[in-house]
């Protein structure tokens, strides 16, 4: 393997071998299939097909609800750990549906890199682009897998150009496809001068790999038809001239993405990609925090909550907080400080997600994801430390794009509704606003589907039928500024003011014009579409 980049040379070996990443892709590009092959090679599952159930469940709304009901599946798939060669991979699942983009954003705060999967026939699609932009905000390193090369696909240069143009990132080929569609026979591994041949007969078989001594090696002709060798020579010559060579540092900085070509369903190119994640993917990275950044090699343990999943078992109102370990070596039973409330918390039943199974986590290192069952103390954005008052930053909450009034079917149950809504708000599933004037709640989400999922979960988990109705407001903004200015503003605009589930002041309106007016008339307050979770 060629040179490997490491920007953190002094990490303990257990931390240095961790790779924590997510897969980003447009629906149908092959994320589920690739995940399954990862787990297969990681020895985490015995048979292909086990992750599939979930991928398919996502397709339609009714199936999606079924999946949501089946908390076990969706939760254990939220984070998966497995070993590959000398590495420990932690794969964090991003929600598939675009309506859950806020959740996706927060998930991406818990990883150090992303694998971008694109369909070789379709190139960069809308959802790929959106997710890529989120990764860019954090300069996350991105490794690219161009999938479905066993089918008719676009010209290799064209695909690479499209990624460079649309995503404004340098692309360097780690492998080069040989033949197209039915004639696709495999790839030339440009990093190791190897020929990788695909076996179409056995989808779970790892590709045959043949060491080649450059393109003039006579062995090439034994495996590749003459016309394809000619084309491969021309292509590689052009590629080496026109495309940048792999620069591991540039990959780590998020300016360059290496691209592997393959076919997830045929298990082809997956191992090379996994090798690539090991070699070029980053080790656990420092975490931005206040008043100081946290480094993974610090001996004191710290971690932060990036996702909360409630009511996994509707009979017990339990929740699991997903915690990304930011530093140190955690051991089961440790007492950590919950920084927001300053209370100690004994973490005695942490869970590790090994593919489809959950097991008690006896230990965890910086970079790992553990689940901590709790009764609501842990919220998204919370930091756990060994005592130091330090708070992880950069986990935002976005203003919702859709607002609706929410009422209990039975008016006597308003209190119950409040409790249920607060629960979902804390889980990050919706924003809940309580208007200063009048009664009831306004619920805000990013996509329409969330209202439906929410309605069904409230009914299922709390036995409470609810109605969503059109709200007179369409936008929500958090009000920031000196307390007296915020109070004066709120008093003068009562009909527009609400409190969010954390008790922060929110301005509701239906006109951009109103927002502009406030900014003009109240120079001491600012209206903002994001808020830091804390």
For the bound state, the minimum distance from the C-beta of residue 127 to ligand G4P, rounded and expressed in Å, comes to: 10
3-class SS letters over 72-87: HHHHHCCEEEEEECCE
518 is written with which tokens? 């406030």
- Asked if 92 is part of the footprint of ligand G4P (rule: CB under 6 A), the reply reads no
Residue ranges at the known binding site: 25-32, 93-97, 147-150
SS3 for 26?
Answer: coil
| Residue appearing with tokens 């859709």 | 402
445 is written with which tokens? 């989400």
Interface region with ligand G4P, contact rule CB under 6 A, candidates 210-218, 263-271, 414-422, 431-439: 263-271
Which one among 6, 8, 14, 28 touches ligand G4P, defined by CB under 6 A? 28
Q: How far is CA 485 from CA 385, 508, 517, 520, 525, in A?
A: 35, 17, 16, 14, 7
For the bound state, the minimum distance from the C-beta of residue 10 to ligand G4P, rounded and expressed in Å, comes to: 38
Instruction: Choose between 94 and 257: whose C-beta lies nearer to ligand G4P.
Output: 94
Cα angle 441, 442, 448; round to 5: 135
For the bound state, the minimum distance from the C-beta of residue 299 to ligand G4P, rounded and expressed in Å, comes to: 39
Interface region with ligand G4P, contact rule CB under 6 A, candidates 30-38, 247-255, 369-377, 422-430: 30-38
Instruction: Choose between 144 and 263: whose C-beta lies nearer to ligand G4P.
Output: 263
For the bound state, the minimum distance from the C-beta of residue 136 to ligand G4P, rounded and expressed in Å, comes to: 21
Residue ranges at the known binding site for GTP: 25-32, 93-97, 147-150
Instruction: Choose between 27 and 394: whose C-beta lies nearer to ligand G4P.
Output: 27
Which one among 5, 11, 16, 29 touches ligand G4P, defined by CB under 6 A? 29
Look at the chain and count its residues.
534
Interface region with ligand G4P, contact rule CB under 6 A, candidates 22-30, 169-177, 369-377, 513-521: 22-30
For 308, phi then psi, to 5°, come to -130, 135
Instruction: Choose between 265 and 289: whose C-beta lies nearer to ligand G4P.
Output: 265
For the bound state, the minimum distance from the C-beta of residue 72 to ligand G4P, rounded and expressed in Å, comes to: 19
Which one among 33, 74, 144, 393 touches ligand G4P, defined by CB under 6 A? 33
Bridge partners for 459 per DSSP: none
Interface region with ligand G4P, contact rule CB under 6 A, candidates 26-34, 173-181, 310-318, 327-335: 26-34
For the bound state, the minimum distance from the C-beta of residue 28 to ligand G4P, rounded and expressed in Å, comes to: 4
Instruction: Choose between 51 and 525: whose C-beta lies nearer to ligand G4P.
Output: 51
Instruction: Choose between 60 and 249: whose C-beta lies nearer to ligand G4P.
Output: 60
- Asked if 27 is part of the footprint of ligand G4P (rule: CB under 6 A), the reply reads yes
Number of amino acids touching ligand G4P (CB under 6 A): 17
Instruction: Choose between 54 and 324: whose C-beta lies nearer to ligand G4P.
Output: 54
Which one among 20, 24, 30, 432 touches ligand G4P, defined by CB under 6 A? 30
Burial 209-227 (b: 16+ CB within 10 A, else e): ebebeeeeeeebeebbeee
Q: Establish how many alpha carbons lie within 13 A of residue 230's alpha carbon, considering only the half-sphere containing its beta carbon.
A: 3
- Asked if 267 is part of the footprint of ligand G4P (rule: CB under 6 A), the reply reads no
Cα angle 123, 125, 130; round to 5: 135
For 214, phi then psi, to 5°, come to 75, 175
Instruction: Choose between 201 and 412: whose C-beta lies nearer to ligand G4P.
Output: 201
Instruction: Choose between 8 and 97: whose C-beta lies nearer to ligand G4P.
Output: 97
Q: Is 486 exposed, middle or buried (0-12, 13-18, 19+ CB in 10 A)?
A: buried
Phi-psi region of 17 (alpha: psi -120 to 50; beta: other; left: phi over 0): alpha
For the bound state, the minimum distance from the C-beta of residue 416 to ligand G4P, rounded and expressed in Å, comes to: 37
Question: How many distinct helices (H) and strands (E) make up the chain?
Answer: 16, 33
| Residue appearing with tokens 């997510």 | 22
Cα separation, 326 vs 229, in Å, equals 48
355 is written with which tokens? 């593919």
Bridge partners for 327 per DSSP: 302
Please report, as residue ranges, which positions from 42 to 71 form the binding site for ligand G4P (by CB under 6 A).
Answer: 55
For the bound state, the minimum distance from the C-beta of residue 67 to ligand G4P, rounded and expressed in Å, comes to: 13
For the bound state, the minimum distance from the C-beta of residue 151 to ligand G4P, rounded and expressed in Å, comes to: 5
Q: Is 439 exposed, middle or buried (0-12, 13-18, 19+ CB in 10 A)?
A: exposed
For 231, phi then psi, to 5°, come to -65, -40
420, 464 Cβ separation under 8 angstroms = yes
428, 380 Cβ separation under 8 angstroms = yes
Please report, as residue ranges, which positions from 128 to 187 form the binding site for ligand G4P (by CB under 6 A).
Answer: 147-148, 150-151
For the bound state, the minimum distance from the C-beta of residue 430 to ligand G4P, rounded and expressed in Å, comes to: 25
**R_g over Cα of the chain:** 25
Which one among 127, 263, 295, 501 touches ligand G4P, defined by CB under 6 A? 263
For the bound state, the minimum distance from the C-beta of residue 447 to ligand G4P, rounded and expressed in Å, comes to: 17
Interface region with ligand G4P, contact rule CB under 6 A, candidates 121-129, 258-266, 273-281, 397-405: 258-266
SS3 for 427?
Answer: helix
SS3 for 396?
Answer: strand
232, 224 Cβ separation under 8 angstroms = yes
Which one among 39, 264, 325, 533 touches ligand G4P, defined by CB under 6 A? 264
Q: β-pairing, 256-261 with 170-173? A: parallel
Instruction: Choose between 98 and 474: whose C-beta lies nearer to ligand G4P.
Output: 98
Q: β-pairing, 475-480 with 526-528? A: antiparallel
Catalog residues that contact ligand G4P under the rule CB under 6 A: 25, 27-33, 55, 147-148, 150-151, 263-266
């Amino acid at each position: 393997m060629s040179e490997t980049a490491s920007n953190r040379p002094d990490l303990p070996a257990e931390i240095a071998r961790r790779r924590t990443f997510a897969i980003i892709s447009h629906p149908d590009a092959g994320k589920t299939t690739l995940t399954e092959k990862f787990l297969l090679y990681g020895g985490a599952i015995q048979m292909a097909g086990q992750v599939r159930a979930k991928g398919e469940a996502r397709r339609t709304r009714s199936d999606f609800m079924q999946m949501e009901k089946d908390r076990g599946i969706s939760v254990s798939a939220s984070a998966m750990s497995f070993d590959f060669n000398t590495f420990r991979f932690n794969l964090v699942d991003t929600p598939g549906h675009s309506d859950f983009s806020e959740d996706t954003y927060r998930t991406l705060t818990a990883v150090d890199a992303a694998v971008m999967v694109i369909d070789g026939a379709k190139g960069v699609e809308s959802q790929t682009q959106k997710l890529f932009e989120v990764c860019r905000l954090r300069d996350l390193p991105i490794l690219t897998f161009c999938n479905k090369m066993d089918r008719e696909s676009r010209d290799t240069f064209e695909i690479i150009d499209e990624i460079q143009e649309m995503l404004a990132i340098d692309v360097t080929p780690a492998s080069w496809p040989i033949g197209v569609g039915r004639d696709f026979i495999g790839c030339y591994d440009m990093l190791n001068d190897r020929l990788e041949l695909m076996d179409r007969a056995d989808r779970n078989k790892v590709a045959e790999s043949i060491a080649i001594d450059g393109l003039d090696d006579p062995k090439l002709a034994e495996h590749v038809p003459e016309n394809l060798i000619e084309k491969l020579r021309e292509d590689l010559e052009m590629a080496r001239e026109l495309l940048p060579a792999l620069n591991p540092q540039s990959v780590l900085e998020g300016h360059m993405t290496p691209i592997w070509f393959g076919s997830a369903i045929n298990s082809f190119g997956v191992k090379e990609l996994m090798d690539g994640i090991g070699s070029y993917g980053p080790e656990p990275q420092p975490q931005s925090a206040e008043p100081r950044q946290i480094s993974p090699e610090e001996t004191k343990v710290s971690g932060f909550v990036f996702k909360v999943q409630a009511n996994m078992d509707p009979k017990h109102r339990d929740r699991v907080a997903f915690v990304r370990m930011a530093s140190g070596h955690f051991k089961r039973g440790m007492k950590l400080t919950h920084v927001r409330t300053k209370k100690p918390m004994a973490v005695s039943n942490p869970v590790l997600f090994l593919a489809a199974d959950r097991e008690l986590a006896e230990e965890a290192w910086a970079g790992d994801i553990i689940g901590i069952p709790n009764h609501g103390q842990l919220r998204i954005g919370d930091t756990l430390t060994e005592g130091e008052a330090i708070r992880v930053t950069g986990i935002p909450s976005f203003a919702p794009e859709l607002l609706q009034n929410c009422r209990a079917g039975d008016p006597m149950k308003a209190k119950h509704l409040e409790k249920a809504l607060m629960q979902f708000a804390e889980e990050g599933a919706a924003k809940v606003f309580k208007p200063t004037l009048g009664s009831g709640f306004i619920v805000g989400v990013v996509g329409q589907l969330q209202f439906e999922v929410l309605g069904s979960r409230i009914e299922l988990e709390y036995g409470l039928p609810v109605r969503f109705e059109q709200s007179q407001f369409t936008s929500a903004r958090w009000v920031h500024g000196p307390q007296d200015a915020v109070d004066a503003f709120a008093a003068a605009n009562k009909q527009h003011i609400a409190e969010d589930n954390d008790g922060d002041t929110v301005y509701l309106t239906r006109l951009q014009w109103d927002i502009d007016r406030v900014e003009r008339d109240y120079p001491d307050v600012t209206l903002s579409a994001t808020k830091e979770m804390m």
